[in-house]
Chain A
Amino acid sequence: MIPILWDLEVGDTLPEIQLPPVTRIDLIKYAGASGDYNPIHTIDDEAKKAGLPGVIAHGMWTMGNLAKLFTPYLEKGFIQDYQVRFMGMVFLEDRITLKATVKATEESKVTFSVKAVNEADQEILAGHIVYQVF
């Protein structure tokens, strides 16, 4: 059940989304679609040269995915502000969970704190979204 936006109260959460384990194809597709061809996201040898154990997801891949929490509300308004800090790395096979909690409500705006965590509950990114309701 998707909660109705204007019924939300501080502390309420949106239904979490658990992403399937990250695959190399996910990152190759994102590289192509975004134009970010930094090879640490797709080629193991390049990631290793940069001192990483293996390829890592683009920070923007996770940030892009997280906005999906709000897709059920596409017809109700739009994301006016979206801010995150990148805090942890995402490796292949990681299972990422996306979360949003209501932090504040105004007449036509709902502010959420958002985060993405891995299966060890480490924060990958954290920030906030202000949803402007029509």
Chain B
Amino acid sequence: MLSQFIGMRSDKVMNPIERGAVKKFAEAIGDPHPLYFDEETGKNSIHQCNIAPPTFAITLDYGIIPNLQRIGAGLIHGEQQFHYQRPLHVGEKIQCYQQITDYYEKKGKLGEMGFLVAEKRGLNEDGHFIFAMKQVVILNETIRRGLKS
């Protein structure tokens, strides 16, 4: 039923990696290391700049898959993967997009569940691959019934 979304892809969205956003995020996960936001620490580090924590990429804007956005409340995050070519640099701009790569249904102890798989990518301004992430989101029967209407 959600299979119709497989293969659909969003337009790219440019995301500046902002120092303030990275700092707030690092604080929110209890990991306020100065390498994430202090300019001097960044310059003098092996990275030669400030970097973002690996899960910061979850906060970026990956663009919209039409009609999929109305699935909201009640989703369960089942699985999450990140793969980095290198860490994100504070101050750079990353182009992000997402694609729905799979949808399948399985019977579990809570009834029939739907599994929606999205792959998201971040490229630098020259179009070079920086990171990818894969998310598996679980939809229970109630949500899927709502979507049919």
Chain B residues within 8 Å of A, Cβ to Cβ: 21, 24-25, 27-31, 33, 35, 45-47, 51, 53-55, 58-59, 72-74, 76-84, 86-87
Contact = CB atoms under 8 A, between A and B. Distances in A.
Contact of B84 (A35, A36, A78, A86): A78
A71 B52 CA distance: 12
B78 A65 contact: no
Contacts of B33: 71, 74
A59 B77 contact: yes
Contacts of B73: 38-40, 50
A19 interface: yes
Interface string A26-68: 1001101111101110000000001000000011110111011
A68 B31 contact: yes
Interface size class of A (residues with CB under 8 A): 35 or more
B45 to A, nearest CB: 6
Given A32-B24, A60-B55, A65 B29 contact: yes
Main secondary structure of the interface of B (DSSP, over half): mixed
Contacts of A134: 46
Nearest to B21: A33
Nearest to A62: B29
17 contacts: A19-B30, A29-B28, A33-B27, A34-B58, A40-B73, A50-B73, A60-B55, A60-B58, A60-B77, A64-B29, A64-B53, A65-B30, A67-B31, A67-B55, A68-B30, A78-B84, A81-B82
A50 B87 CA distance: 36
Nearest to A67: B54
List 4 A-B pairs, minimum CB-CB distance, nearest first. A64-B29, A33-B28, A83-B81, A64-B55
